[in-house]
Amino acid sequence: MNILLLGYGKMGKLIGELGEQRGHQIAAKISIDNTQDLDSLDPKSIDVAIDFSQPESAISNIKWGLERGIPVISGTTGWLDRWDEIVTSVEENDGTFFYASNFSIGVNVLFKVNQYLAKLMNEVSDYSVTVEEIHHTAKLDAPSGTAITIAEGIIENMGNLDSWILKGDTPALENQLPIISKRIDPAPGTHIISYQSKVDDLVLSHTAHSREGFVKGAILVAEWITDKKGVLSMNDFLSF
């Protein structure tokens, strides 16, 4: 399989290394410094594009692939305010697009457990809930896309919450779920869901020891997606 890497930072480099170890070829490595090289690529020679770029580059990267009939996988976060734009592009081009805020199998199990726990806690009074995420200082967006997915899973299942807020100088309202974001090196990613009351705390968490889990997940999706169509997610891949 020929893989186009859109974004060649730490994640892009690791995806390239693992992809080659699994017998795949890297068609090109595109970063902010050589975006002009996209114009010289033959789309027919590319089986899938994997985007781990920056929020300001993700939209153009994804559209570039979709408009050329290339399945696109994206793990870039921070651009979802333009989600509908990408869905429209998928429909117009009869394309294939896969998005995940996190490709780790463990994290995606956490998403499901988080939703179930929120349903249970919705029936219990006297608990307040907080989401905390810790990442390395090179991560530009806050909160993380994974933390937002966790927060959305809680909000969907708890009747007293309708939005989340990044915790800062402005205190959260009763209907808002606070997210705490910390940037500490060399943390690859920790997410903590805390339900707190006067008598006890209930804590659910996931800690990544390295980026290997994210990278392996992205490669496995790339191997799976080539005969699929439409907008897809980890729920489709894992059959949750």
Q: 51: which strand partners?
A: 6, 74
Strands 190-196 and 163-166: unpaired
Q: Does the annotation mark 139 as catalytic?
A: yes
Buried-state track 129-156, b at ≥16 Cβ within 10 A, e below 16: bbbbbbbeeebebbbbbbbbbbbbbbbe
Cα separations in angstroms, 28 against 38, 96, 229? 9, 20, 23
Catalytic member of 29, 136, 139, 216: 139
Query: Considering only CA atoms, which of 178, 208, 213 is closest in space to residue 193?
Result: 178
Other C-beta atoms closer than 10 Å to the C-beta of 188 total 17
Answer whether 181's CB lies under 8 Å from 144's CB: yes
| 29 is an active site residue | no
Task: State the catalytic residue, choosing from 135, 167, 191, 206.
Answer: 135
Active site members? 135, 139
